[in-house]
Amino acid sequence: MVTTADPGTGGSAPVRVRMTVAYNGTGYRGFWAVEGQRTVAGDLVEGLEKVLRHPIELTCAGRTDAGVHATGQVVSFDADPNRLDPERLQASLNGLLAPAIAVREVGVSDPDFDARFSARARWYRYRVRSAPVPDPLRAGLVWPVRHVLDGRAMNEAARQLVGEHDFTSFCRRPKPAPDGTERSLVRRVIAAQWGAADDEWHFEIGASAFCHQMVRSITGTLVDIGRGRLPADAVSGILAAQDRNQAGTIAPPQGLVLHRVDY
């Protein structure tokens, strides 16, 4: 959560608000608040507090990294019902936060709704442009790769990710829990598939949750397979190794989009 404060409802019970947010992550240090850095959450909280005129405690569905985009990020917070007009809030925020951030939907939700803990699945998309010449108009939105990619091999490899696995090989190791125990990196992948459109390859992956750099590490490894640098059956062995050094390239952030969140 971003700030900790009473919403100042003046005696009225606060209401839980749910918002769907899109943003271009270029120029941001990621979604979550980092002191001294510009973040998506920081701009959102600043805008919310300006419109609602009380402190905001924000929760998000997924903490995207620096340079990562979103079309379906979900956030939740408590608001003073006497100061909340969802349509006015959406219009005001879009005026304040454009062009980098757009609020797509605003509504009052159940009191126990939490953008993070109520989520059942997160879905990401990654765009790779396979062409010999860069496209300046897509700079910052795709990963430009000069090689011809083998989509059949990338999809064969992607299928090995589906199911419940320990993704240690594809994740940055988190700090231990307060009691000193290592945090589990077991995740359940629902689907993982590549599709082609003109000169782009689009990778979509959905999971119950993701760990830090998991999607970018998986994408980079699958692109290495598409380039012929690794065999198509390498993913199962990389998973089994539980060794970060066994994975391939980490894809750059600009091609990655948090597409939607299921509840």
Residue 9, judged by CB atoms within 10 A of its CB (0-12, 13-18, 19+), counts as middle
Q: How far apart are CA 30 and CA 23, in angstroms?
A: 11
Residue 239 lies in a domain: yes
Contacts of 94 (CB under 8 A, 6+ apart): 102, 103
CATH number at residue 92: 3.30.70.580
In terms of domains, do 142 and 242 share one?
yes
Tens-digit pLDDT string for the chain (263 aa): 444 345 555 568 999 999 999 999 999 999 997 778 999 999 999 999 999 999 999 999 999 999 999 999 999 999 999 999 999 999 999 999 999 999 999 999 999 999 999 999 999 999 999 999 999 999 999 999 999 999 999 999 999 999 999 999 999 887 777 776 788 999 999 999 999 999 999 999 999 999 999 999 999 999 999 999 999 999 999 999 999 999 999 999 999 999 999 99
Judge if 134 and 227 occupy the same domain: yes
Q: Are 77 and 114 in contact (CB under 8 A)?
A: no
The pLDDT score that the predictor gives to residue 8 is 57
CB 32 within 8 A of CB 45: no
User: What is the rounded distance in angstroms from the CA atom of residue 215 to the CA atom of residue 204?
Assistant: 10
Q: Within this chain, do residues 89 and 190 fall inside the same structural domain, yes or no?
A: no
Q: Are residues 95 and 145 in the same domain?
A: no
Torsion of CA 215, 217, 36, 114, to 10 degrees: 20
Claim to verify: residue 253 and residue 149 sit in the same structural domain: yes
Shared domain for 40 and 91, answered yes or no, is: yes
Let me know the angle formed at the C-alpha of 93 by 92 and 99, rounded to the nearest 5 degrees: 115
The answer on 190 and 62 residing in a single domain is no
* Annotated catalytic residue within 6, 43, 65, 179: 65
Q: How far apart are CA 27 and CA 194, in angstroms?
A: 28
The pLDDT score that the predictor gives to residue 3 is 45
Same domain, 77 and 137: no
pLDDT at position 240? 96
Is 96 a member of any domain? yes
| pLDDT, position 72 | 98
Q: State which of 85, 108, 131 marks the end of a domain.
A: 108
In a domain, 36, yes or no: yes
* Predicted model pTM: 0.91
User: Where residue 182 sits, what CATH number does that domain have?
Assistant: 3.30.70.660
In a shared domain, residues 20 and 126:
no
Domain that holds residue 62: 15-108
CB burial of 28-52 (b: ≥16 within 10 Å; e: otherwise) equals: bbbbbbeeeeebbbbbbbebbeebb
Q: How many independent structural domains does the chain possess?
A: 2
Catalytic (active site) residue 65: yes
Please state, in angstroms and rounded to a whole number, the distance separating the CA atoms of residues 156 and 216.
Answer: 18
| One-letter amino acid for residue 32 of the chain | W
Question: Do residue 62 and residue 180 come from a single domain?
Answer: no
